[in-house]
Each structure stands twice: as structure tokens, then as C-alpha cells.
């Protein structure tokens, strides 16, 4: 059975077809706005995420997938309770660093200046290492498991059909999303 035939059989299988049809369009972006978080804080997180993973020629950035909402929801639901405080601390410290370095809001900075603030924050030993790693980890998870991240920034093949153990990697080839 080749892949096309496998796909056809899957689609024909009553159960599988019902599955596709019943899939709710549920993603975290459709979840309620998290309590206790201001629109401004969420927007700042989204902008930080979009600075970590910006739009490039072939794929959109993390800002396009409402990454701030994901970071807050995921940290609140899945991480230890203190992670939410860590996120808030990171936002305060990044905002502070932005004022100190450029005397401007982070959201008003040019891309290169935002990158400079975040790079310095990530490199700062005690202060920024862990909070920034948390934001980075959540950004990467949220983005690379989103449809644009998985299918455009990476290669997504839900039904590979076969495993090939030795494939020549071409210079432009991206990683598999799964």
C-alpha cells in the first residue's frame, strides 16, 4: 500500500473521516484571555517572542501566532506556579533594560535594538539567564508546534509513509517538525 492509497483508505474509513470532521478548531489562541494579565503585558511578551523568532523570507514570525497568549497559558497551566512570577519578573527587567539602554519602551525600539536588549539580558549571569530561558523555551515550543512554524519554518509530514535511514541533506533542508 503506497502513501496515496493509505491516505485514501484513511479518508474512507468511517471512523477516521468522522475524526477529521469532529476536530474542533481548538488552539490556545482561541482560549480565553488569561486572568490577571494586561493586554499590554501580553503584547510585550508577543513582541519579545517575535524578536526571538522573527518573520523571515520563508516563514512568519512568532508574533503571527499570538505567542504571548501561548506563553502565559502554557506557563499558567503546565509549569510550576512560580513560573508565572518569573515571567512577570522578566517583563519588568526587560522593560527596565530597554529604558536604561535606550530610554525608550521596548515596543518602540527598532528590531536591532530589541535584539540587543534581549541578547544582553540573556547573557547577564544571575539576573536574566533563567527567566529568559523560560520565555525562549515557551516561544520555541509555541511557534514550532504551530501550523506556520511546523509547516513553513520546518518540514511537517504527518504521514511519511516510510522510514529512510540515509538521506542526503541538502543545504536548504530544514529539520522535521516531528
Is 113 near another protein (CB under 8 A)? no
Write the Ramachandran bin of 52: left for phi over 0, alpha for psi from -120 to 50, otherwise beta: alpha
Size of the chain in residues: 178
Least CB distance from residue 39 to another protein, whole Å?
A: 21
What is the Cβ-side half-sphere exposure of residue 78, based on CA atoms within 13 angstroms? 11
Is 94 near another protein (CB under 8 A)? no
CA dihedral 135, 137, 142, 145 (to 10 degrees): 170
How far is residue 157's CA from residue 70's CA, in Å, rounded to a whole number?
24
Least CB distance from residue 91 to another protein, whole Å?
A: 16
Interaction pattern, residues 35-64, with another protein; x per rule: CB under 8 A: ----------------xxxx-x--------
How far is residue 22's CA from residue 5's CA, in Å, rounded to a whole number?
23
Is 108 near another protein (CB under 8 A)? no
Place of cell 505567542: 67
Q: Residue 56 or 108: which CB sits closer to another protein?
A: 56
Least CB distance from residue 124 to another protein, whole Å?
A: 12
**Do residues 12 and 31 make contact, with C-beta atoms less than 8 angstroms apart?**
no
Least CB distance from residue 92 to another protein, whole Å?
A: 19
Which residues lie near another protein (CB under 8 A)?
1, 3, 6, 9-10, 13-16, 18-20, 22-23, 26-28, 31, 51-54, 56, 73-74, 77-80, 111, 115, 118-119, 122-123, 133, 136-137, 140-142, 144-147, 150, 153-154, 156-169, 173-178
Amino acid at each position: 500500500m503506497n502513501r496515496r492509497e493509505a491516505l485514501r483508505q484513511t479518508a474512507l474509513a468511517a471512523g477516521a473521516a468522522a475524526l477529521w470532521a469532529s476536530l474542533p478548531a481548538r488552539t490556545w489562541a482561541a482560549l480565553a484571555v488569561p486572568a490577571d494579565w494586561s493586554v499590554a503585558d501580553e503584547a510585550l511578551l508577543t513582541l519579545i517572542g517575535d524578536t526571538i523568532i522573527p518573520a523571515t523570507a520563508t516563514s512568519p514570525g512568532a508574533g503571527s501566532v499570538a505567542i504571548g497568549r501561548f506563553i502565559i497559558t502554557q506557563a499558567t497551566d503546565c509549569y510550576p506556579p512560580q513560573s508565572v512570577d518569573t515571567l512577570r519578573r522578566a517583563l519588568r527587567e526587560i522593560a527596565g533594560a530597554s529604558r536604561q539602554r535606550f530610554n525608550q519602551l521596548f515596543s518602540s525600539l527598532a528590531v536591532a535594538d530589541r535584539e540587543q536588549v534581549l541578547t544582553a539580558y540573556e547573557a547577564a549571569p544571575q539576573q536574566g539567564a533563567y527567566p529568559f530561558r523560560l520565555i525562549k523555551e515557551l516561544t520555541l515550543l509555541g511557534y514550532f508546534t504551530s501550523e506556520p512554524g511546523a509547516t513553513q519554518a520546518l518540514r511537517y509530514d504527518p504521514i511519511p509513509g516510510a522510514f529512510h535511514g540515509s538521506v542526503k541533506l541538502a543545504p536548504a533542508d530544514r529539520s522535521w517538525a516531528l
